[in-house]
Amino acid sequence: MDLLRTPEARFANVPEFPYEPRYAEVDGIRMAWYEAGPPDAEPVVLLHGEPSWSFLYRHVMRELAAAGLRAIAADLVGFGRSDKPAHPADHSYARHVEWTRRLLLDELGLTGITLVGQDWGGLIGLRVVAGHPERFARIVAANTGLPTGDIPMPEVWHRFKDAMTTAPVIDIARFVQSGCASELSPAVRDAYDAPFPDESYKSGPRALPGLVPDTPEDPAAPANRAAWQILTTLGLPFLVAFSDGDPITGGMAPILKRTMAGAAGLEHPVIAGAGHFLQEDAGAELGRRIAAFVTAT
């Protein structure tokens, strides 16, 4: 596998993100993560999605640290400061699950984890939970799901998939902006572009939309169906914290509330005035909701 590594100078002017990168090697790939809060506190793992990176969680991390929790945000392979496979074919759903599992469970040795997953962060993180439920204490699903291809994806998602997989040039910041209800500053837009000096670094953003199981015959569909069978009966406290303005994943919220055993009896917040990237639009509120959930359970 040919790998690319974003020069550190690209991150020199990233605003509001004072967290030093930490690195571990997983299957020969350098993965990055960032921490805030007491190192011996309960770990809250924050997994981003497409096409962002851990910068997305900067406001959430601040709130979790203020509440005395250990916030750990990881860059998926192909994103942020993590190494980037040079070819879209190097990405697979199963590989991303295993890379993330290796980082969190083997390299960091985490236990008692509260998982927070948004977008692909949920698609990957929920699979890791299903495979190793004994290492997790709680789950927060924030504008995410675990598709099996048995329910059609919305048309807006198909348009996004087509754009990411066929456009000769991908404007990362523009795609993030399109998923936000608030207007991003030029500095924040630059931060989302920072991991990708040119098109050769963007195999992750190009590949991931095509890896979402959108037909029942998709290669990843059986593993996701098996994960559903485990997750729905686990009983781990399961918070559904969706925004009120996400046309891509919004339909998953009632399904998760209804089917996850650990969701019963909880008050599930709806984050008002936020889009798909609710961490960007309402990160402080989301962080406080997560902290309250950890404290209450």
**Which residues are known catalytic residues?**
119, 246, 276
Would you say 197 and 10 are in contact if contact means Cβ atoms under 8 Å apart? Answer: yes
CA 79 to CA 222: how far, in whole Å?
Answer: 26
Q: Give dist(CA 215, CA 44) in Å, integer.
A: 32
The CA distance from 196 to 6, in Å, is 7
Strands 43-47 and 113-117: parallel
| Tokens representing residue 180 in the block | 């936000």
Q: Copy the structure tokens of residue 184.
A: 């991003």
Rounded distance between C-alpha atoms, residue 234 and residue 138, angstroms: 10
Q: How far apart are CA 84 and CA 94, in angstroms?
A: 16
Q: How far is CA 100 from the centre of its chain?
A: 11
Residue 296 is which amino acid?
A
Nearest to 96 by CA among 108, 78, 113, 117: 78
Written as one string, the DSSP assignment of 54-94 is GGGGHHHHHHHHHTT-EEEEEPPTTSTTS-EESSGGG--HH
Phi first, then psi, for residue 29 (nearest 5°) are -110, 130
3-state DSSP assignment of residue 142 = coil
Q: Are 52 and 142 in contact (CB under 8 A)?
A: no
User: Can you list the alpha helix ranges (DSSP code H) found in 132-277?
Assistant: 155-166, 172-178, 186-193, 203-211, 221-234, 252-259
